[in-house]
Amino acid sequence: MAERTPPHDEEAERSVLGAMMLSKAAVWDVLDVVAGKDFYYPKHEIVFDAIHALSAKDEPIDAITVHDELRRRGDLAKVGNTITHELTSATPTAANASYYAHIVHDKAVRRRTLEAATRILERGYSDIGEADALVEEARGELDAVLGGQRAEVVRVGAAFNQVVEELSTQPNVIETPWHEINKILVGLHPGRLVVVGARPGEGKTMVAAQLAMAMCRKGPVAYSSLEMTRGELLQRLISNAATVHMGSLERSHLTQDEWERVASIRPNLDALPLYVDDRSEVTITQIRAHARSVSRKGPLGGIVVDYLQLVSGVGDDERYKIVSEVSRQLKIMAKQFDCPVIALSQLKRAPQMQGKQRKPPTLEDLRESGTIEQDADVVILLQRGQSEDGHPDQRLRMHVAKNRHGRQGYSHLLWEGAYARVSSWKNNGQYELPIPD
């Protein structure tokens, strides 16, 4: 393997460069397909970069101007004084520039695949790090070969038409199940990290499950449930969608009417593209691997992690360092998969207060790492309401405490713990059921 010559096509590379110097139209045809790193021969990459520089300045491109650009850049001695004339004279026709460019790009992809395979092989033999991390790195290497195109350098104004078109259509967001919160957030935006924080027993998982169902309308959802099994989560979804009391499900004691309601919502839940990884000890690498696997079923509608402080670290790092790295990586995943990421976070327990009313949680109550607040685009804090005698009532205070791209605010929603859901209040005191389509 090491003695084999990597895939390349010298004639195609020469013809691409020659065509670019013979036809201005060929320049743009080639730039749509090929980058400088796609050339096997270093001297061809140098000539391509000179042509690219001239095109960026909108200057004439031919054998003479490219020769002058190479001289100006100090590269002429590296490629030879006559190379531009050699390339143009050896090009059969500029009309086939795009065809030649695809040959060059194809050979480059093959070389990068071999290079990625070599790195994977070396890591496998090194016996360093976790096996799961090796698999995820290998997937990343191969995905980069397939999708790792060069970044385009464009002026911000070039996207003006696209923005105007988007303004005339509905925003690309996923509405939450609660219209009160949608008035504040508009909805869940792709590429953003949303942290839902609450103290123990105050509704984090209920809210996460409902957000997951909402995101399933957009595409497959990767749900990492570190605290609850797949069966327990499904039981909550059944209670929510069928309006069957959680107590009846837990005791396996359903009435005939409840059985019929469960049967009626089964097709919806069977079709729900929600993929749950319920391993109790996973690293952020394994969470990303799960999301990547789910993304192969279609563009992700969202990612859910329940919850941040339970994600395992590698090595002996302190907890706050582990949580900091997890929150940073989740933000990266939101952009990488172009979907909302919902991360649940435990809050510090409320201090003992004089009197019966508790102080609402704040951003300072996020446990173990201040970087959670920094990384998150949105932070939503939950707190159960209390009656005058200090007992929990039917209200859930949902506070958008941070919103990087909009306003903040809070609303009181209806707590329906018996049906594993939080609902919107109507003006007449009734509520809307967030039952999936």
CATH number of the structural domain spanning residue 36: 1.10.860.10
Domain boundary among 147, 171, 203: 147
CA–CA dist 221, 290 (Å, integer): 10
Identity of residue 434? P
Integer angstrom CA distances of residue 262 from 236, 240, 287? 12, 10, 31
Domain boundary among 147, 162, 187: 147
Note whether 313 and 216 are same-domain residues. yes
Give the total number of structural domains in the chain.
2
CA–CA dist 189, 324 (Å, integer): 22
Specify the CATH number for the domain of residue 189. 3.40.50.300
pLDDT of residue 368: 59
Q: Where are the alpha helices (DSSP H) in 339-430?
A: 371-375
Domain of 22, in residue numbers: 10-147
Note whether 122 and 196 are same-domain residues. no
Whether 153 is in a domain gets the answer no
Our separate counts of H helices and E strands in the chain read 17, 10
CA–CA dist 410, 326 (Å, integer): 27
Tens digit of pLDDT at every position of the chain (437 positions): 456 788 999 999 999 999 999 988 888 788 878 888 899 999 999 999 899 888 867 788 999 999 999 999 999 999 999 999 999 988 888 888 889 999 999 999 898 888 888 888 887 887 777 777 777 777 777 776 765 444 444 566 666 776 676 666 666 788 888 888 888 888 888 989 999 988 888 888 889 999 998 899 889 999 998 888 888 888 888 888 888 888 888 788 888 888 888 888 888 888 888 888 888 777 787 788 788 888 888 889 999 998 877 887 655 566 777 788 888 888 888 988 889 999 998 887 665 454 456 778 878 777 655 578 788 889 988 888 777 776 777 788 888 888 888 888 888 888 887 788 888 876 433 444 443 33
Note whether 242 and 322 are same-domain residues. yes
Note whether 125 and 261 are same-domain residues. no
Domain boundary among 132, 147, 162: 147
Note whether 238 and 295 are same-domain residues. yes
Whether 379 is in a domain gets the answer yes
Note whether 215 and 96 are same-domain residues. no
End-to-end Cα distance, the chain: 54
Nearest to residue 434, comparing CAs of 253, 259, 236, 275?
236
What radius of gyration, in Å, describes the C-alpha atoms of the chain? 28
Whether 163 is in a domain gets the answer no
Note whether 328 and 377 are same-domain residues. yes
Note whether 261 and 302 are same-domain residues. yes
| CB atoms closer than 10 angstroms to residue 426 | 11
Identity of residue 154? V
pLDDT of residue 12: 93
Whether 169 is in a domain gets the answer no
Residues 6+ apart with CB under 8 A from 110: 6, 7
Note whether 260 and 329 are same-domain residues. yes
Burial (Cβ within 10 Å: 0-12, 13-18, ≥19) of residue 139: middle
Whether 152 is in a domain gets the answer no
Whether 250 is in a domain gets the answer yes
3-state DSSP call for residue 209? Answer: helix
Note whether 37 and 129 are same-domain residues. yes
β strands within 175-300, DSSP E: 193-198, 221-225, 274-277
Identity of residue 84? T
Whether 275 is in a domain gets the answer yes
Whether 387 is in a domain gets the answer yes
